[in-house]
Structure formats: structure tokens, C-alpha cells
Structure 1
Amino acid sequence: MSATDFSSLNLPAEQLAVLDSLGYKQMTAVQAQSLPLILQGKDLIAQAKTGSGKTAAFGIGLLQTIQPDFFAVQALIICPTRELADQVGKELRRLGRGIPNLKLVMLCGGKPLGPQIASLEYGAHIVVGTPGRIQDHLKKATLKLNKVKTVVLDEADRMLDMGFVDAMQEIIGQTPSSRQTLLFSATFPDSIKQISRSIQRDPARVTVESQHQQAVIDQLFYEIKKHERNNALLMLFQHYQPKNAIVFCHTKIQCDEVAEMLRNKKIDAQPIHGDLEQRERDQVLVRFANQSCPVLVATDVAARGLDIKAIEMVINYELPRDPEVYIHRIGRTGRAGESGLAMSLVAEAEVPRMLAIEKYQKKPCRCDVPASLDRDDSYTLEADMVTIQLDAGRKNKLRPGDILGALTGDAGLDGADIGKIDIFDMSSYVAVSKSALRQAMNYLADGKVKGRAIRTRKIR
């Protein structure tokens, strides 16, 4: 038995069976280094890049402390964004399948307070949420943290960047001093050291290499004039012709303008940033993940928490000022042993940023000019799938199998025409091929899912 096998850990047979069913065989580096410490009850600071498996590391650990027959909040996970909180919540539900009657409640802004209050009234074992909304519930006394055993700060560096330091301190101040505190951060600035000193007791430290293997991600920097940025971006798509991509911008306005420019060139793109309503953000992320929108144009904060394993190309429309932000951006491609492309547009004013990246990576940046690219002016990038929204979800006891069964059964669709299915609290989304869209919509207009009619619409 290898030391990186999950079976080498002192975990219950039920948990090992769940991990096996989910395909969890070997621990990632952050899991192998941190899980033994977490299971010993130690406080921990873990520094690891996006996509390193940190959610399973703290998730498996905290699940072992949950007493299912005791309905009080026993674990609290604080995340910087709603998207990351949603991803963490889904993963914890998967990992906790073997625990009977486990209840997890999501507390994020952008959703009405009423249903969240109702969920908390019935008791919860685990709360996953964002700082602002957790504070709202504490002020209303609808959330009590006096029985919490484990607190997790996920992507703590981003929470500090977003100005949540006081909120984090206030929330943690309402938990028992005997708690275990786990702090996960992609970077380790002085501000992380300061908050650790104030909330942790003699924490163990785990660091997983944040650099990416040179052979996995092909990085290229294209030197441009400032006014050439849009044309150079289009040239990258026409040359590399990826099946999907993320374009990173600095501002919300930039995201909107770039996405519109790409759509005008027949490249399906959607912006995501903080000005979108939560429903709109959910829909954009669902469509990108289920292959019905191949290009995401995002700010750094909005893209935080993305967990999509097969992103072919990341493009820096403008270089970030912090080299570590650059590393996290490009780390969304080249995952799970796959190769990836990381392309950056560099105007003259951004050359110092490129030099800072050189210094951080301890290797010279490979530079080129857009004129060297072979272009296919006829290139388009349009999705093969379309997303359908159903106005029913987890609260209505709807499951992916119910939707799949209705579409492949009474509706008569081929299984190959149905893509990813996502279930939210009050709505669900299913990707279907464009060729099967009319057939699916015609059935859903008059037919039933799980014995009842459900209102549906195509998401554009």
C-alpha cells in the first residue's frame, strides 16, 4: 500500500468506500501533506495553487468530526466568492455521501435571506458561505457558531484582498476557542501571517509548489502596441483555434467590451464579473462548464473557484500586476496531466510586469509578435450544445437521473445528445446538442419530469 493511497489514512470504511466510488485513489501533494495533520486535530496553514485538491483535503478532514445526530453547526467554511462557495458545497456533499442525514447549508449573498433562515431553523451540520452573508445571519441571530469544531478559511489571501479581514475576525470571534482552524491560501503575504497569529494555535505549515511544469503549460508573450490589443486577441484565436478558453481582463467594462467584440467575430463568449446578478453568474458558469459557451471573459475575482478540468487556452488580455496572480490565471489550463496554452498580450507599459514574471518563475519569458501567427480568417467558435433551465431543483427533490430519464425515455433523445446536468436549490440546467434542442423543448413544454410538469426555457 502506497503512502499516498487514501486507504493509508485512518478513515472509516464508509468514507473510503465513498472516495473509491468517486475515483479518489491517490492523494494529491496537498492532500498527502495536510490530511494526516488535519486528522490529528492540528491547526494548519496550507499554501497550494488552484486545482491542487485542497477542497477534498479539508473536506475529508472535517467530515470525520461531524456527529450526524447532533443538529448544530459543527463546521464552518468561509469563501471569498459565491462561485467558490458553491463549488465547495457541491464537493462536500459528494464526499459526505456516506454520512446519514448530513445537512449542509449554503449562506451566500445574491440569494434571499428567507429560505436560508428556514434551512438554519431545521438545523445544519456544515455551513459554507461568504463573509458578508454569514455576518448578516449572525446579526439576525439566525446562525449560532458556539458548537463549531472546525473553521476553514478557503483562499484566505483573496478574502484579504477583497477587504474581508474585519469580517473574518468578527465571525471567527463567535466560534469556540477550542476549534481547529484550517487556513488555505494560494499565496503567503505578511497579511496571512498576521491573521494566522490572531486566530490559530501553533499551526503546522504545508507548502505545495505553486509553479507549473514547463512541459505542461506552453507560455508565450506577444508584444503589441496598446491599440492593437483587440486585433491581437482575435489573431490568437484564429491561429491556435482552441475548443474553449478563458480571457482575463482587469475591469468589468473591459470584460463586457471584449466579450461583445468576440461575439461580433462569431466567437461565442460571455463576460463574468461582479456587476452581474447571482442568477446571471450561475448561468454563465454553468454554460461554460457544460460546453454551451466556449469562451469566458472574466475578472480575477469572478473566476476564482472555477473547477473546469479541460481548459485549452488562457489568455491574458492585459498582464496582471502581481506575478502570483499570473500563475493562478494560467494554472486553469494544463491540469490533470493535459497540456495547455497560456498566451499574454504585452503592451510597452506592461513590460515591467513581464520582467517580474520572469523573476518569479526564474526563467526568461518567450516572446513573439502577432505578425508571426498564421491566421484563418474563416475561423469561428460556436458551441455544439445549448443549455435548458428547469424551474425546479434540489429543494424539489429533483436529481440528475430524473432529468436524464425523462429526456432519454419519453422525450426519445439519444444519450449522446445530453451533456452535463447541474442541480441548484430552486433550478436545474441540462446541456443538449443543438440538433436535439427542438425535440427536447417540445417534450418539456407538454411532458413531465418526475411525474410533474416543470417550466423550462433556453438560456441564451
Structure 2
Amino acid sequence: MKEKIQTILENLQIKSLNEMQKAVLSGIEKEQDLILLSATGSGKTLAFLLPVLFALQKEIKQTQAMIVVPSRELALQIEQVFKKMQTGFKVTCCYGGHKREIEENNLIESPAVIIGTPGRLGDHLRRGSIRTEAIRLLVLDEFDKSLELGFLTEMEFIVGSLKHLSKKILTSATEAVEMPDFLPLKHPQRLSFLTEEAEKNNSLDVKKVVADSENKLDILFRLLCKIGNRSAIIFCNHREAVERVSNQLYEKGIYNEFYHGAMEQRDRDSALNKFRNGTVNILVTTDIAARGLDIPNIRYIIHYQLPQTQDIYTHRNGRTARMDASGTVVLLLSSVEYLPPYVDQDMEEIALPEKAVLPERTKWVTLFFAAGKKDKVNKIDIVGFLLQKAALKKEDIGLIEVKDFHSFAAINRLKSSNALRLIKDQRIKNKKVKVEIAK
């Protein structure tokens, strides 16, 4: 097992397991269900994927494990980690916003592991698309969030449909979670690393900015100018506020992307990709981004609107200072707003310069390709296309992400106009593919 773990860690470019991951591996050997409480960004995904992997048997050609998550983004990220582990086992994702017909085709030859959101998994189970007789292991990741989002009925149906379970693993980043009646646990073993992690996490600074008027947007603008080109997520409580703040910042010259649950899947993919690849450094979002988004090196979390609960506050802050990196949380307060009781009242106040200087544009721009995995297009194809047809060098090409039916590639902004001109009538794999600046 040690050699296998070492190979997986090398594939993931991780030096070693942390204490929490080691504890889960030790605990999973016992004939008990497992509840894992651990902070966001602490490595929970690998902690439960390793037991999932070691529970799989190659001779069984049916689905053996199911992982249920509250959001499509989290599902896709877990799938990506599992694929990077290079296990040799088939995995597939099922989530709302994805074509059901594609998922049904992927399920014909049963994958060893299915990852999905409650609504879509429940739909497949009712249709008989998922064979359940060999499913022995169930993981409910961020299970408290699934219940919070109103998936209680679907979760109950899923658990009730899996008649042959021998082990359940539940993970959460919050302590106060009431276990629902439909989820019987077998002498559950409880591993909590929340207090330890809170004590260790001295790398998270929490500060405030107080507006001398009701114009919080002006204060936000000046704060972003002070921050410069470091990455930041701005949290608002509602979709309307997200779009309003994003548009007003754009009008002031702050390039950014917004992201919320009512967007079309392509637009969500595009927004996250631009933020991830550095085309923009600012993401304005609702609490949908407080969990499940594994974007490294986020330096600032800005609460433009105060979180409505302590739990939301904790999860928002968990987007930064991940895996020993440092980060800063900033709460924006108007003259009539007060810090909630669960926030340190004596935090440092940030002084903003009177004169705001706009940050420079980033190096990258994102190209959209109207082709993806289902068109047999991969990252190597796109890199080769850009090198050969767009006259770009390797250093001119940034992060590339390939989805089912479309792809995104970051390229040097200064060379983008010429690149688009050169590739206008070119083909990828003998196919004419629409390529344009991602909207």
C-alpha cells in the first residue's frame, strides 16, 4: 500500500500525506462508518479518495463507490483529482446542467466510481441508469451543505436506494451538524481536526474597512486599487448584488468576472477559467463559491456584504490561506453596519490611499474553442494548434481546460489579435472549430 500511495502522491505532486489524511487511512480499516470534520482546504478530498481507491476491486466490473456532493463544481474537482491519481479505474460525473444523455452513455459501461449532485444522482437512480448491487461505499462530501441546500428528500432517496452498503464516509467543515434520521450510521468513528486547524491557522489575517458614507462601492474600488494584481474573491449575498457590483467595478476600470448559480454552464465555466488562469484577478460571487472551488493562491477574501451566519463566514474565509499559504480577509462596513458577534471586534482597520491607481491589466486573455472531449480534442491538440498555427511560443500559452463540448486556453494578451487572425480558417484534427475571445 505504501508504494501505491507514494505513486499517487507523485502523480498529484504532493510530498506527503498530512496528519488528517493519515488518520482517515488508519480509521477506515475499522468496521465502522466515519465522520470527518476538517477545515476547507485541508486536503479532505484526497483523505476520502484513498479509502475509496483501496476499497475498489478490479475483478468487479460494476459501480462500487458513490460520492455525493452539493455542487457540480465540487463534483468536477473530485473527478479531476481522481483522474490525476491514475488509478486505472473508470470514474464519471453526474450533475445538473450536464446533458443527461451523455451521462447515460457514460453509465452504460458501469464506472467503478460515480460522483454527483443529489438531484441528478436521484434522477439516474429512478431511471435505472445506475446499477447499485455492487455499491458498498458511500461518501457524502460536505454533507451538511447538501442538507442546507434543500437536498434532504434526494439524499434520503439515494441512501435508501443503496441496499448493500458496508461503509459510509461523511465529511464536513463545520461542527454543528445534526445527523438526519434517514442516515443510520454503524458505530461511527468521529475524526475532528477543526480545533487543531483553527489553532494552527495563524496565516489568516482578518481586517476591516469602514466607509465614511453609504457608498461602499467606492471603498471597494479603492481597496482593489490598493491590493493591485493579487487575486481576490468578493462575496455578496444575492445574485443581483453580484452582477451589480461586477458591472459597476468594470465601469470603473476594474476587470473582473462574476459567478452565481443562475448562470448557464458555459458562462460559469468561462468565468471560473478566467479567474483560475489569471485573465482576471477579481471574482465577484455568491456563497456558491464558498465551498467546492479549489483555486490555489487566492490572496484576499472580501466580504462586500456581511455573511448571514457564522458558518457562511467560515466557509467564505476557507477559500484563502489554504494548505499553509497566507491570506487576508477583509470585511467592508458602511457607517450603519456593525461586526457580527462571531468576528473579532478589535481587528485592524485598513487605511486606504486618497488617490486610487488602477491595477495593470493581466498578461493573459482567454480563448474559447467550440470543441472538447466529446470531439476527441485534448490539451495536447490545443497546444500543438496554438504553437503551429497561431505562431505562439510555449511561454505565450497559459492554463488550458478541456470540457465536454468546449475548451479554454490562456494566451499572451499582446499576441492575441495576431493569433486570432492566423487561426481564423485553420482546422483542429481536420475540423473547422470556432475560436474566439471568451465572453
Q: TM-score range by the shorter chain?
A: over 0.9
Which residue in the other structure is 1:75 paired with?
A: 65
Aligned residues between the structures? 437
- Of 249, 254, 259, which residue of structure 2 is paired with 1:262? 249
Preserved CA contact (<8 Å) 1:15 1:98: no
Say if 2:129 is the partner of 1:138: no
Instruction: Indicate the larger mover: 327-336 or 85-94.
Output: 327-336
Say if 2:190 is the partner of 1:205: yes
Paired letter, 1:71: K
Say if 2:434 is the partner of 1:445: no
TM-score, structure 1 as length reference: 0.89
Deviations 1:97-150 (CA, angstroms, capped at 9, x unpaired): 132xx2212110012211111111122211111111111112212222222121
Q: Offset of 1:391 from its aligned partner?
A: 2.2
Structure 2 unpaired stretches of 5+: none
Preserved CA contact (<8 Å) 2:290 2:315: no
Instruction: Indicate the larger mover: 431-440 or 79-88.
Output: 431-440
Say if 2:28 is the partner of 1:43: no
Cα pair distance change 1:284/1:303, threshold 3 Å: farther
Identity of aligned residues (%): 29
Cα pair distance change 1:115/1:307, threshold 3 Å: same
Preserved CA contact (<8 Å) 2:133 2:163: yes
- Of 330, 342, 352, which residue of structure 2 is paired with 1:343? 330
Structure 1 unpaired stretches of 5+: 1-9, 359-363
Q: Offset of 1:356 from its aligned partner?
A: 1.9
Say if 2:268 is the partner of 1:281: yes
Paired letter, 2:80: K
The whole-number CA distance in structure 2 between the counterparts of 1:136 and 1:41 is: 31
Q: Offset of 1:347 from its aligned partner?
A: 3.7
Cα pair distance change 1:226/1:302, threshold 3 Å: farther
CA root-mean-square deviation: 2.2
Preserved CA contact (<8 Å) 1:34 1:57: yes
- Of 391, 396, 406, which residue of structure 2 is paired with 1:417? 396
Paired letter, 1:207: S
Which residue in the other structure is 1:236 paired with?
A: 223
Q: Offset of 1:410 from its aligned partner?
A: 4.3
- SS across alignment from 1:49: coil
Which residue in the other structure is 2:347 paired with?
A: 366
TM-score, structure 2 as length reference: 0.93
Cα pair distance change 1:357/1:377, threshold 3 Å: closer
- SS across alignment from 1:386: strand
Preserved CA contact (<8 Å) 2:230 2:281: yes
The whole-number CA distance in structure 1 between the counterparts of 2:177 and 2:69 is: 20
Q: Offset of 1:18 from its aligned partner?
A: 3.1
The whole-number CA distance in structure 2 between the counterparts of 1:41 and 1:256 is: 49
Preserved CA contact (<8 Å) 1:29 1:208: no
Preserved CA contact (<8 Å) 1:393 1:399: yes
- SS across alignment from 1:388: strand
The whole-number CA distance in structure 2 between the counterparts of 1:235 and 1:41 is: 56
Paired letter, 1:75: A
Which residue in the other structure is 2:87 paired with?
A: 98
Cα pair distance change 1:139/1:381, threshold 3 Å: farther
Which residue in the other structure is 1:33 paired with?
A: 23
Instruction: Indicate the larger mover: 145-154 or 437-446.
Output: 437-446
Preserved CA contact (<8 Å) 2:133 2:164: no
- SS across alignment from 2:60: coil
Paired letter, 1:98: T
- Of 337, 342, 361, which residue of structure 2 is paired with 1:356? 342
Preserved CA contact (<8 Å) 1:81 1:302: no
- SS across alignment from 2:198: coil
Deviations 1:285-308 (CA, angstroms, capped at 9, x unpaired): 111101112211111124421111
The whole-number CA distance in structure 1 between the counterparts of 2:124 and 2:57 is: 23
Which residue in the other structure is 2:380 paired with?
A: 401
- SS across alignment from 1:281: helix
Which residue in the other structure is 1:7 paired with?
A: none
The whole-number CA distance in structure 2 between the counterparts of 1:212 and 1:268 is: 36
- SS across alignment from 2:28: helix
The whole-number CA distance in structure 1 between the counterparts of 2:31 and 2:422 is: 53
Say if 2:317 is the partner of 1:330: yes
- SS across alignment from 1:220: strand
Which residue in the other structure is 1:298 paired with?
A: 285
- Of 45, 48, 56, which residue of structure 2 is paired with 1:55? 45
Q: Offset of 1:405 from its aligned partner?
A: 2.3
Deviations 1:297-338 (CA, angstroms, capped at 9, x unpaired): 111124421111111211000221322322221222223433
- SS across alignment from 1:227: coil
Deviations 1:151-183 (CA, angstroms, capped at 9, x unpaired): 111111111110112211110111134331110
Q: Offset of 1:258 from its aligned partner?
A: 0.5
Cα pair distance change 1:450/1:15, threshold 3 Å: farther
Preserved CA contact (<8 Å) 2:230 2:299: yes
Preserved CA contact (<8 Å) 1:220 1:366: yes
